[in-house]
Amino acid sequence: MLRSIITGTGCYIPPVVQTNSDFAQHTFYADNQLPLPTPPQEVVEKFKQITGIEERRYTTDELNTSDIGAIAARNAIIDSGVNPEEIDQIIVAHNFGNVVKHTIQTDAVPSLASHIKHQLGIHNSNCIAYDILFGCPGWIQGIIQADAYFKAGIAKKALIIGTETLSRVIDMYDRDSMIFSDGAGAVVLEYNESAEKGPGILSASVQTHSLEEVDYIHMGKSFYPDSDPRIRYIKMKGRKVYEYAMKYVPAAMKDCLDKSGVDIKDLKKVFIHQANEKMDEGIIHRLYKLYGMPAPENIMPMSIQWLGNSSVATVPTLYDLVRKGQVEHHQLTAGDVIMFASVGAGMNINAVCYRY
């Protein structure tokens, strides 16, 4: 049978390390534009306890979102061995386009996918390049979309990239700014013959909730009282996002697994969006509770502690690191059934069940 198979992975880990202690001297403000009464050091320590984040990565000033996406893409192409001129689609997931350092305007014209195709030097005009905006689940949605194109007979090889420079859209006076980071991850996906128990995508599940949930993650003015109200930064209703994720994500993951026909006991790894360590752990426990069993140990690799939340880049980056033996105590073996899952602005949820 034909299946969509990941044949190569790559990522870009930014070199600038921003530790929690770097934030300990900040004055944080609440959404009422009044300083938080808690000392910054306590704010930072509580933040670490809740999110698990100890440090995050920012890219260098001269690189943009498309630049780091191109680096991850190049690494994935080399890893796969594919001829770039044979790629039919370049799908780039992001949320803010290119944001030049020290500016306030996002740039997505032309699309980041077109920028990346240009940087890769791909001449083939039949290789279409386009962006996808789907919040943090954007990269997984790109995988789902490419798989649909393959099944429709429109394409056979795709490059799916998740890339973001969130450090350039955060409000440094908002404690939530400590969550976000920069990064890029990419895969080459090909439609090839696969045995019944061979590698490839097995199933997918997607949901959008956009009634009262639509502004749980949004753009808003700085919490700093003297800031320019015309400038917008990424904002999050943290408690609402947490409650939403706990309610809907485990059910979507169960739907995906049930569609695949795989027994929950045969699920080896879950690559979940690195949003918040406590939230991710809660989602996993609730998923297994839906099957009436406790979550097994070592099921969920994590990178948020040292990479932070780079939105669309977290899942492909983590997958690349685990594939290449760079996450301690986690490895993949041929035949392992794994799941990719994410939740983010929209509010959107998705999951993909995949046999390695």
Q: Which pLDDT band holds residue 102 (cuts at 50, 70, 90)?
A: confident
Are both 174 and 246 inside the same structural domain? no
Residue 239 has pLDDT above 80, yes or no: yes
Residues 274 and 186 in one domain: no
311-340 burial: b if 16+ Cβ within 10 Å, else e: bbbbbbbbbbbbbeeebeebebeeeebbbb
CATH code where residue 136 lies = 3.40.47.10
Is 117's pLDDT higher than 90?
yes
* Percent of the chain predicted with pLDDT > 70: 100
Query: Which amino acid, residue 325?
Result: G
Are residues 143 and 264 located together in one domain of the fold? Answer: no
Mark whether 252 and 176 lie in a shared domain. no
CA distance 213 to 40: 30
Q: Which of 34-38, 52-56, 100-104, 227-231 has the lowest mean pLDDT?
A: 100-104
258 and 301 belong to one structural domain:
yes
Cα distances (angstroms) measured from residue 25 to each of 21, 44, 132, 138, 331: 8, 10, 37, 34, 39
- Asked whether residue 247 falls in the same domain as residue 189, the answer is no
Q: What is the pTM of this model?
A: 0.94
Domain range for 267: 200-355
- Which pLDDT score is estimated for 294? 95
Q: Are residues 182 and 84 in the same domain?
A: yes
Give yes or no for a contact between 253 and 351, defined as CB atoms under 8 angstroms apart.
yes
Q: Which of 193, 226, 246 is the endpoint of a domain?
A: 193
Number of domains the chain is built from: 2
Tens-place pLDDT, residues 323-332 = 999 999 999 9
Average pLDDT, the chain: 95
